[in-house]
Homo-oligomer: A and B are copies of this chain.
Amino acid sequence: MPKITLVALTITILALVQFFFFLQLVGMARQRYNVKAPAVTGHDVFERYFRVQMNTLEQLILFLPALWITAIYAFVAYYWIALIGACYLVGRFIYQRSYVADPSKRSLGFGLSALPVLALLLIDIVGVIMLWVRSP
């Protein structure tokens, strides 16, 4: 198996496990702050956990397809994918910690995890244009 596939698989599973973990935190916050379903508002700290979850969901729908297009067509070397993936995962954890602590301080973590998504999108745009150019 090519190393690039193995790296993309590993990043994907770590990103899914991280999101699964964020979902559990929302469930726990729902209990702790007594926010009764179907409400998703009513306690400021619960709302922070909930917004981290929703924002991560929005990033994942960009991150996972962009990651796999990069990996399948090997638009960059495997270590670049490892670096981009690590940056996303660490950025998301910082985002989660800082958002729950103080929503006004979420910028660093947000940027650290949004930048890899933007990088993958740019790589894929250039990569697909190259595929069109080379296509007979």
Contact = CB atoms under 8 A, between A and B. Distances in A.
A1 B73 CA distance: 11
A9 to B, nearest CB: 5
Given A23-B58, A40-B51, A9 B69 contact: yes
A60 interface: yes
A16 B67 CA distance: 12
Interface of A: 1, 3, 6, 9-10, 12-13, 16-17, 19-20, 23, 36-41, 44, 47-48, 50-51, 53, 57-58, 60-62, 64-66, 69, 99, 103-104, 106, 117-118, 121, 124-125, 128, 131-132, 135
A131 B69 contact: no
B17 A117 contact: no
A39 B118 CA distance: 25
